[in-house]
Structure 1
Amino acid sequence: MSATAAVPAPVPTSDVDPFAAEHLAAPDPLHRTLRAAGPVVHLSRYDVHALARYEEVHTALVDWQTFQSGAGVGLANFRHEKPWRPPSLLLEADPPHHDAPRRVLREILAPLALRRLRETWQRVAEELVDTVLATQGPEFDAFEALATAFPLRVFPDAVGLGPDGRENLLPYGNMAFNAFGPRNDLVRADADRMAGLSAWVNDQCARDALSEDGFGARIWAAADRGDLTPAQAPLVVRSLLTAGVDTTVHGLAAALYAFATHPEEWQRLRERPQLARIAFDEAVRWQSPVQTFFRTATTDVEIAGATVPEGGKILMFLGAANRDPHRWTDPDRFDLTRDPSGHVGFGMGLHQCVGQHVARLEAECLLTALAHRVEHLELTAPPRRHLNNTLRSWASLPVRIRRAH
């Protein structure tokens, strides 16, 4: 009796468009479908292999040698297509090109280095919350008044930007994150302002545009020491400005939305404000401001029995992994008793977000200021989403608050 080799199960195929408006607006049903279909699903519309389960997404994120970022972390393959702008030295590069920029930023943005900002940022957060409560009354748009206003104040200050033009940062980030997807209507909607926004951001990255005491100046100082080249310095500043605003804004909005819809968790935070940092990470897990990223296979690679060919694109659904029931108990619930560490909302491994500690500090300051001043918050109407090919974005978050006495 001869043994017969096992025949690999066929890879499930779907013609679904994950970048269609209905899936960007409400991704959870698609995520459940993809997780149920199998560890790998071939998306025929774009000829990419999709990963929606935590185990496979995590593996792809940490194995940078097999799943490279240097060919682009969007749908476009830089092996065959010219990028619309010089690639990010952090996000769209692999070692050795990735090493020096990340080493410089890791030192500049280290938790110890951020401690000197805590007192200033906490004071700004308290002033902002006091002003909003005093001038806007009990009902206001928390997305604009808090989630957007606070990062646009403290982060550009920390980088060393001047006060003019900061309103360009969110549109630029929206454009950059849209560009990771297909050339659909969302990308075309930005076409007429792409050149202007890009030129403005590039201007802000020049040495003489930056204050002498910010993150940007320290990046240029690293170039003076030879840790970076003069050509790399403005690209590293640009990486900060691209990734450091939108993700934090939408992460803060996710946290405010979570508390507006989970009053018992808000009371838990008010009783223990030291949970603010955990609350932010749980909100990032629960809503995943960055929903997707791509990698490119450097060789024929087998994933759970499916072979992805060399040069093939892999679409990682970070948002789906962050709600995988095989990794998280009751994953659709926002829960401050959960340990959210291990979520992939900031990536994982070599390319994990180098600025995540900055985002956590911003969230800690704002949520702590609110917890001391607001007894209760709730939605007054359904929040509105802003569609983006990569980001789980917001347009408005109407809330009603009751002040603490």
Structure 2
Amino acid sequence: MPGTAELPVCDIDVFSPAALEDPEELHRVLRGAGPVVYLSRYDVRALARHEEVHAALADWQHFESGSGVGLANFRHEEPWRPPSVLLEADPPRHDAPRRVLRDILAPSALRVLRAAWQRAAEELVEQVLTSGTGEFDAFTELACAFPLKVFPDAVGLGPYGRENLLPYGNVAFNSFGPVNDLVRADAHRVAELSAWVNAQCAREALTDDGFGARIWAAADRGDLTRAQAPLVVRSLLTAGVDTTVHGLAACLYAFATHPEQWQRLRERPELARVAFDEAVRWQSPVQTFFRTATTDVTIAGALVPEGTKILMFLGAANRDPDRWDDPDRFDLTRDPSGHVGFGMGIHQCVGQHVARLEAETLLTALAARVEHIELTATPGRHLNNTLRSWASLPVRVHRTR
């Protein structure tokens, strides 16, 4: 194949259960092999160093998302659902939906939610701390429970069926990888989950005071088409839950394994947002995304032919020792800005401020009531082709009162 001879070749199955369960060694191998590595099993180029990943994410002109952000190439393959008008689109198709969501989810627009979310976080923490012995699954009781309450409320979803959001997200993010056992395990649920999510995106299914209603109002104004509106709502529901859930779980895991950092947060609760970004850098809930070369392009002296899929390892870039000092350590004295856990450039996560607000309110509520967090057993991982996911996070907490 043209352009592969000069590249280092890696024949590791980067989507194997072992690689997904514990990716750090794979990341070290890929970073050490070179700035561009040919993955022979999947016929793709891989980028694992921060410099190249950052640059490719920001360069939508040469590395498009419109051909799919997974292994499947939409130039030749039919996607299993209509492509996302945000994640799987480039300008000009990407511009109007992005502009509408940017305004709806802007930090100034989220300030009205802060007080309600802070109360919800305090109520949840109180409930968890007073309903048992101080031992519980922090993944289920906190990292899942809080986003699945406040975010669907903000979108305008009704109270029923929210248990479908995480399984749907699991299916969606799995689909970005190969058709392996993880994809096949959920194949029987795809139609059911897709139908439920699509139904929630209709105007009549949404309350009149949430993000969803504002998206439909944008369509009424002509800022979006009426065909785009439900797809934009769907993008919120696809990308706005799983990544926050697993980012919060990463925070709680980090504090359970770095007790000195928990004390630092308790002393300075204004570090809650820094803690969330550092946890996203350290654990990278979104591990990988693909792009497709729009033309023959050279990366660090290596030719990437037009039409080639590029697999960017966000998790590897976020622990690149050439970019971060002591990158394997979770550290609240670090400035984590520049991490690529939310992407970069025009496709950078438009809902990242929502996720930060969720994390800030939950972590500050927890820090006010808990002196210490510790693991009581080995946490469980849930394997996904794209996400660094959790299944359980058993902890013991020591309350302040």
Asked whether the two chains share a fold, i.e. TM above 0.5, the reply is yes
Summarize deviations over 1:40-77 as a string: whole Å, max 9, x none.
00001000000000000001000000000000000000
2:208, 2:184 → 1: CA distance? 38
Q: Tell me what 1:362 maps to.
A: 358
In 2: Cα distance, 1:331 partner to 1:175 partner: 30
Cα shift readout 1:235-291 (whole Å, capped 9, x = no counterpart) = 000000000000000000000000000000000000000000000000000000000
Question: Are residues 1:69 and 2:65 paired?
Answer: yes
Instruction: For 1:124, give the aligned amino acid.
Output: A
What is aligned with 1:4? none
Measure, in 1, the Cα distance between the counterparts of 2:332 and 2:11: 37
Equivalent position of 1:284 in the other structure: 280
Cα deviation, 1:101-144, whole Å, max 9, x if unaligned, reads: 00000000000000000000000000000000000221000000
The one-letter code matched in structure 1 to 2:15 is F
| SS of alignment partner, residue 89 of structure 1 | coil
**Amino acid paired to 1:361:** L
Query: 1:12 matched to which residue of 2?
Result: 8
Residue number in structure 2 paired with 1:309: 305
Of the candidates 27, 30, 35, which is equivalent to residue 23 of structure 2? Answer: 27
Count of residue correspondences? 399
- Please point out which of 42, 47, 50 is paired with 1:54: 50
Structure 2 counterpart of 1:389: 385
The 8 Å contact of residues 297 and 308 in structure 1, kept in 2 or not, is answered as yes
How high is the sequence identity, in percent, across the aligned residues?
Answer: 81
The reply on whether 1:112 has 2:81 as its aligned counterpart is: no
Q: Tell me, what secondary structure is at the counterpart of 2:85?
A: coil
Q: Distance in 2 between matches of 1:9 and 1:24?
A: 28
CA offset at residue 305 of structure 1?
A: 1.3
1:155-207, Cα deviation, whole Å (9 max, x unpaired) = 00000000000000000000000000000000001100000000000000000
1:9–1:305 CA contact under 8 A, matched in 2: no
Matching residue of 1:5: none
1:159 paired to 2:150 = no
- 8 Å contact from structure 1 (residues 53, 324) kept in 2: yes
Deviation at 1:316, TM superposition (A): 0.1
- 2:85 equivalent to 1:93: no
Q: TM-score, normalised by structure 1?
A: 0.98
Q: Secondary structure at the match of 1:90?
A: coil
CA distance in 2, matches of 1:304, 1:340: 25
Distance 1:15 1:330 in 2: 28
**Is 2:248 the counterpart of 1:247?**
no
Residue 76 (structure 2) aligns with: 80
Take 2:312 and 2:243, find their aligned partners in 1: how far apart are those partners?
17
What's 2:296 paired with?
A: 300
State how far apart, in whole Å, the 1-side matches of 2:54 and 2:89 are: 19
| C-alpha contact (below 8 Å) 1:160/1:213 kept by paired residues | yes
2-structure distance, mates of 1:56, 1:9: 20
What are the Cα deviations for residues 202-240 of structure 1, in whole angstroms up to 9, with x where unaligned? 000000000000000000000000000000000000000
CA deviation map 1:2-25 (0-9, x unaligned): xxxxxx982100111110000000
Aligned to 1:129: 125
Amino acid at match of 1:284: V
**Quick one: distance in 1 between partners of 2:303 and 2:54?**
18
Q: Who is 2:179 aligned against?
A: 183
Q: What amino acid is the match of 2:177? A: G
Q: Aligned pair 1:174/2:170, yes or no? A: yes
Q: Any gaps of 5 or more consecutive residues in structure 1?
A: 1-7
Q: Which amino acid aligns with 1:234?
A: P
Q: Work out the CA distance in 2 between the residues paired with 1:174 and 1:364.
A: 25
1: CA distance between counterparts of 2:374 and 2:106?
35
Contact 1:48–1:313, Cα closer than 8 Å, also in 2: yes
1:259, 1:265 within 8 Å by CA — same for their partners in 2? yes
Give the AA of the match of 1:67.
Answer: F
Q: TM-score, normalised by structure 2?
A: 0.99
Distance 1:42 1:195 in 2: 35
SS at match of 1:368: helix
| Paired residue type of 2:266 | R
Runs (4+) of structure 1 moved beyond 3 Å?
A: none
Match of 1:202 in 2: 198
Aligned mates of 1:42, 1:185 — CA distance in 2: 23
- Cα distance between partner residues in 2 of 1:48 and 1:72: 14
Q: Which residue identity does 1:78 align to in structure 2?
A: F
